[in-house]
Structure 1
């Protein structure tokens, strides 16, 4: 009943943070929650060291955009993929993966890559609907490729190592990259005249020429070093994910200032954008913390676990049912809110079925990220449509292909745990 009312509020357009707050305030007495604690609990929740990574990674994304680091990454992708058929589509996919590996945000990835690669794809003969659909789909990599903001949230609220979650999501992220590249190879024969991109003298004027690969790589070295700094520092144990975000933020700021792509006066606008995006996320986290506390007091997670174990004793069937439920939730809820809501609700049941919480975290985030492509919420679709000046109707005929590929990858991730738990097998050997 509570979850149904929450979903109803979200469907009718109630802001996410307000929807959670209303549910809590209306039911505070029946949940035996002292209203005076409502001020302390949200603050205690957001006053968290792991959550500090969220504003820092969002700041890195803004700095990369303004500092020209995104264009540098694209120029390198263009060098290595120029001999592949329909290369710009592959460039969009790989550039989105690299952008996601730095910012952890799907929407930021869609906006940054769409505004740079998207315009060049249209020049080379791609239909605008296909460009926007590929842009929206490739943006999913911003959620799964580590560092990932939803994985940080899941690890914080469920009590799982964020570093382990990042390592577990590497192969699933690479799997989705491969799936998207295959789909693009297939669809490019349909959407391009004679299956080939139109090459003109003015294509990629700012992204670098393949004729100068060494100079382009050297020029892009500052951008290429950033994911090495972030991921290398995390996996080597030098940084925690939060510390890596801070180091990346300082590095991106220095590169931006030194390159003079943005001056000191521009920093205020960059910080304002990052702060506004952070505030929206943290408000959701603050109020979902009270909601999740109420769920625990009402023993909702235990009830779900009892119901599912009574419904079936088969872990495979349990995971199948959970996948369907999470996809439906992702259609109506924002990614971070869905992660914060469904993580603590379903993780106890998954553990009871013998599913490792790290594996389940990747399953959950992969499911919920699909909601970024499925209306009515579908944030990636709307951002890609606006960035590429495309109609949703023109996008959907291509979006279904990428959505189907993501669902196939989801099934593999769900039922082949070795794809996510590979660090354990590696240690065992």
Structure 2
């Protein structure tokens, strides 16, 4: 069953279609009729926490069209303009701020690449490095809360989404710090003379005097969304709805976009959200089939039979998930591997929240590793950069990601830090 699925995905069959084909091929063996498939898919989508996914996607689109993204970039420029290699640091910080609202890695790459990529190229950065930094920083769109893959994992495995959002905050900040250290070390190699030129592209620092109320309103949005979640004022789904309303009101009050452009944002968000929900619906049936076949239990038993060492188990899990991330779309990989491996991890005493962070970090690194590597392709497209020079600069960032992954894997306190807060 899993072999058929991997073959379909390697052949380029759309993810949702691939899952549905595998289900239909084995429907008779599982005694599943078409009515059950339709009803089970609908029941899976009528899950309140999943409503956060299309809402966060819509919030990201409205941010991009309504000018919030430009304000976050402006803030990052002002904050970091005196540092050497400032525009690279701006790209990292702006990606983190964007990710703290949208929950999407690819959306972060696209929005920040459009806003900052031309500025970096104008200041003398090598094109391949701009693309690699843009693609890698885009991971912060998922590694900082809110995170769409963590919503999927929480819904599939039955883990508190608020706990997952708390758990990923420190790992996300560690990634921010690692990327900034790496950029600082690489500046002298990717800039002529090791310093940025004074060339400023249109929309750059010459317009930064406009730094008042619109920027304050933009910076308040992540505070509102994340503060509402962590304080218990909002659920993740309610926070997503608040983000949409806030971004829409901001766009209308500042008149930073036209109604037709807002309409395009709604259309694109609907298409993206429908694609994700289609995958969720059919992977739910697929995961139920795995449970009926007792495959997760078999995986757990096999793992314990191979080793009783939790460190070795986690190493094997990392290798498997890194491989899966290279070939499977993020949502599909999360929905497949979460229910499959979480029970085995629990038998080793691994906290399900810690395991969720570990799983998502692994799969997200797959966005940088071909053949799937969605972040690479989007970064190359947005920055109009050939893929080959981008790939030459990428190994530095992959190594940095793997170093952070090892820390998250073998120091559970990095993810479970909130357990040590005074109550």
TM-score, structure 2 as length reference: 0.98
**Local SS of the residue matching 2:367:** coil
Q: Which residue is 1:222 aligned to? A: 217
Checking the alignment, whether the CA contact within 8 Å between 1:132 and 1:384 is kept in structure 2 is yes
Shift of 1:426: 2.0
Closer, same or farther: CA 36–128 of 1 in aligned 2, 3 Å = same
1:109 aligns with 2:118: no
Q: Which residue is 2:167 aligned to? A: 168
Q: Which residue is 2:203 aligned to? A: 206
Q: 2-side partners of 1:390 and 1:344: how far apart? A: 38
Q: Deviations 1:258-295 (Å, cap 9, x if unpaired)? A: 11122333332111000000011011001100100100
Q: Deviations 1:300-345 (Å, cap 9, x if unpaired)? A: 0000000001111011000000000000000000001000000000
Q: Which residue is 2:251 aligned to? A: 256
1:76 aligns with 2:75: yes
Q: Which residue is 1:425 aligned to? A: 420
Q: Which residue is 1:144 aligned to? A: 143
Q: Deviations 1:51-99 (Å, cap 9, x if unpaired)? A: 1111111111111111111111111111111111100000000100110
Q: Deviations 1:16-47 (Å, cap 9, x if unpaired)? A: 11110010001011123233200000111011
1:266 aligns with 2:265: no
TM-score, structure 1 as length reference: 0.97
Q: 1-side partners of 2:66 and 2:261: how far apart? A: 11
1:159 aligns with 2:158: yes
Q: 1-side partners of 2:43 and 2:305: how far apart? A: 36
**Local SS of the residue matching 2:421:** helix
Closer, same or farther: CA 388–210 of 1 in aligned 2, 3 Å = closer
Q: 2-side partners of 1:410 and 1:420: how far apart? A: 11
Checking the alignment, whether the CA contact within 8 Å between 2:326 and 2:371 is kept in structure 1 is yes
Q: Which residue is 2:87 aligned to? A: 88
Gaps of 5+ in 1: none
Over 4 Å off, 4+ runs: 207-212
**Local SS of the residue matching 1:274:** helix
Q: 1-side partners of 2:224 and 2:297: how far apart? A: 41
Q: Which residues of 2 match residues 4-43 of structure 1 at below 5 A?
A: 4-43=3-42
Q: Deviations 1:221-252 (Å, cap 9, x if unpaired)? A: 11101101100100011000100000110010
Aligned length: 423
Q: 2-side partners of 1:210 and 1:354: how far apart? A: 54
Checking the alignment, whether the CA contact within 8 Å between 2:134 and 2:379 is kept in structure 1 is yes
Checking the alignment, whether the CA contact within 8 Å between 2:9 and 2:327 is kept in structure 1 is yes
1:185 aligns with 2:180: no
Q: Deviations 1:150-172 (Å, cap 9, x if unpaired)? A: 00000001000000000000010
Closer, same or farther: CA 172–402 of 1 in aligned 2, 3 Å = same
Q: Which residues of 2 match residues 362-381 of structure 1 at below 5 A?
A: 362-381=357-376
Q: Which residue is 2:286 aligned to? A: 291
Alpha carbon RMSD of aligned pairs, Å?
Answer: 1.3
Gaps of 5+ in 2: none
